[in-house]
Every structure is written in structure tokens, then in C-alpha cells.
Structure 1
Amino acid sequence: MSESPSARKTSARNWDALAAVIASLIGALALLVSGYTAYLQRTQVRAQVWPYLLLASYDTENSIKMHNKGVGPAIVKSVRIRVDGQPKRTWREVTEALGLGHVPLRTSTISDNVISGGEVVPMLVFGDADVYHRFRSTSRGRTAVDICYCSTLDECWAYAADDPTAQAIQNPVDSCPALPDAEAFGD
């Protein structure tokens, strides 16, 4: 007994419909896999460009240095240093506000700068060990440091420490604020 032509047509249509459904499911699965792969790649790139700034004091060198302990560059957008709540624009203003007067020191600019992954920048180097130790003891509790920096993917962090030698708190932020000239640290 042979199939009628209309039965053969219906059977062929059912296979065509099934093939279309399977092709659609495979396409949707491929789209999901592609999206997940893009997500994983973005996560890997974020890890490869992640900066992490840290201020550290070096007693043997009479200095305060900025480290980028992360693997990617830190784009420093803003720096504010306050003594007794008042913003200072230079390290000279900071040392004078702390009552140290005009002391011998060398500085490096971190404001509006890029600090490469693994780079160490000597922010403040004192020419005299006694002055350095007086700076450390008088700055505690009186000096605050706020630094906002971003990665090359425009992910930003706010670094805040109670003094230049204290442990900092780093929080992710949406963007770095533009500081007024009177508050922006220039050294």
C-alpha cells in the first residue's frame, strides 16, 4: 500500500517544521554561548587592567611613596590633601600647616598622572630624617588624603586615608569628581 500524495506532503511539512524548530534552538543556544563568552572576556580584561593604589612610608628612605599594586595603569583624576580639615595645594603648604616650616623635601606629581602597574612613585622625600619623623608624628589624626583614580576601562575608585601613612579605604565609584582649584592638590 502506498502513501497518498497528500500524506507525503504532510509528512514532509512536519519534518521541515521540526528542522526549523531545531535550527532556531541551535541559533538561540549559539547566541547564549556567544553572550557568555563576551562576559567572560570582559571579566578577564577587567582583571588585566585593574589598578590598586597604595601609599606607603619608607622610614629608611625618609619618604612617602605611591605604589600601584595592581596590574593595569591607574589614571589619577583628582587628589585632595587636607590638614585639620583645610585643603592644601602643595606639600610645602602641608608641612607649614603642620608646623614644620620650610623643610628640605623633594616631591613627585601624581595629580593628573598615570601610574603604571607595579610602578612606585616617591611622592614626598624628606632631606632630613628628623623632619620626616616629625612629619609622621604630627600628620597623624590631622592629615587626610583623598585620591580618585580610574582604570583604562573607566572603572573608578576613591582612595581615602586619615593620614599619608595610614591604611586606606578604597571604594568603587561611578566617576571621579572634578575638584575646585582651591581644593585640588597640585604636587
Structure 2
Amino acid sequence: MFKEKIKEPEVIMSICAIFLSLLAVGVALFEANIARSQQKSSVWPYLEVLGSNINGTSWRVSNKGIGPAKIKDVKVTVNGAPIRSWKQWLVSLDSDFAWPFTQSTLNGRVVSPGESIGFIKLNPKAIEKLKELIKGGVQIKYQICYCSVYQDCWVTQSIDSQPVNSCKKSETSFQH
């Protein structure tokens, strides 16, 4: 009796309709996934940290992406030791800290596409001292963790950003 029912045109049409419906749902899910990827890439931030020796020494964060970047965490180390403020950074480089400098906070800042934010600038005389220290083996490293509006996050140490699951502050996070 079951084999006889399957041969009826209504049953065959129903089975085809169910199959096509499932196929349509699969295509819709695939298209939704593509649309989500396109939305995320349409607001993709890309931070670069750049240094300059014009009129002193300065470092800037520039957003070369097409979406805003929210800076969630900054880490700075000198010879592997975590630094929590620019003043501590300068003192760690030279115990006779007498370098005038200009600073800006990065943590919590939103960097718009095309925007560049200077975060520290040393006076022109300080560049020679800094060059001496670097030639002497002082290693200065930084790491900036930032997220897009969709909470996709990356870490950059210069111009190479790597994706991460999230940005988490720690006891060694930079404060100023």
C-alpha cells in the first residue's frame, strides 16, 4: 500500500516541494552568512603604529581601514618589563629623566578611518639620547589591541595586525 501511494503524483509533488524548500532554506542561510561577512568587512579597521623623527621623535596610531577602531588595551615594555605610563617609560630609559614630552591617552579612544592620533612626542634633543639607548640594546615594544563595531578584535605591534578573540586588560596594561 505504501509503494502504491508513493507512485501517486500528489505524493511525488509533495516530496519534491519539501526537497526544494529545504534547498531554499540552505541557500538563504548561505546568503545570510555572506551578507554578514560583507557587513563586517565594510567596517574593518586596520591600525598601524608609525614613528617619526621630524621635529623631534613621535609615535602615531593611524587607522588605514574603512571602519572605526576602538582601542581596548595597550601594552608597552622596555627590555621585557611592563610599563604603565609614559613618564615611567621615559624614566626606565634614562634615570635622569629630564625629557620634555607631550602625551595622549590611547586606551578607550576611537580612531576613525583615515584618522591619525599622536600618542607621544619627545623634543628634538631627546632623539639623540633615544638613539644611543637603542644602539646600546634597549628594546622598546608595544602592543595595541583594538576592536571593530562588531567586536571583532586584532592586536598590532607595528603595521601587522593579527586577529584575536577579544581584548582583555591585565595588571600590566598601559594606563596613560
Q: TM-score, normalised by structure 1?
A: 0.80
Partner of 2:113: 117
Aligned equivalents of 2:30, 2:55: Cα separation in 1: 49
Where does residue 85 of structure 1 map in the other structure?
80
Which has the higher relative contact order, 1 or 2, with Cα contacts under 8 A spaced 6 or more apart?
2
Higher CA-based Rg: 1
Query: Cα RMSD between the aligned structures?
Result: 2.3
Alpha-carbon offset, residue 176 of structure 1:
1.6
* 1:101 pairs with 2:92: no
Please give the alpha-carbon distance, in whole angstroms, between the structure 2 residues aligned to 1:25 and 1:147.
50
Counterparts of 1:162-181 in structure 2, within 5 Å, are 167-180=158-171
User: For residues 37-76 of structure 1, what are the structure 2 equivalents within 5 Å?
Assistant: 37-62=31-56, 63-76=58-71
Distance 1:16 1:137, change over 3 A: farther
Query: Measured at CA, do residues 24 and 133 of structure 1 come closer, stay the same or move farther in structure 2, by a change above 3 Å?
Result: farther
Q: Secondary structure in 1 aligned to 2:125?
A: helix
Q: Does residue 1:16 correspond to 2:10, yes or no?
A: yes
Identity of aligned residues (%): 27
In the other structure, the counterpart of 1:129 is 124
AA at the equivalent of 1:132: I
- Which whole-Å CA distance do the structure 2 matches of 1:117 and 1:125 have between them? 22
Once the two structures are superposed, residues 73-113 of structure 1 have per-residue CA deviations (whole angstroms, 9 ceiling, x without a partner) of: 11211111111222112111111211162312111111122
Which residue is equivalent to 1:156? Answer: 153
Residue 172 of structure 2 corresponds to residue 186 of structure 1: no
* From 22, 29, 45, the counterpart of 2:23: 29
Q: Which runs of 5+ in 2 are unaligned?
A: none
Report the 3-state secondary structure (helix = DSSP H, G, I; strand = E; otherwise coil) of the residue aligned with 1:129. Answer: coil
Query: How many residues align structurally?
Result: 169
Contact 1:83–1:97 at 8 Å: present in 2 too?
A: yes
The whole-number CA distance in structure 1 between the counterparts of 2:44 and 2:166 is 15
Report if the CA contact (8 A) 1:148-1:176 is conserved.
Answer: yes
Distance in structure 1 (CA, Å) of the matches to 2:151 and 2:64 = 18
1:134-153 to structure 2, matched below 5 A, reads: 134-135=129-130, 138-139=133-134, 141-153=138-150
In structure 2, distance between residues paired with 1:21 and 1:86: 68
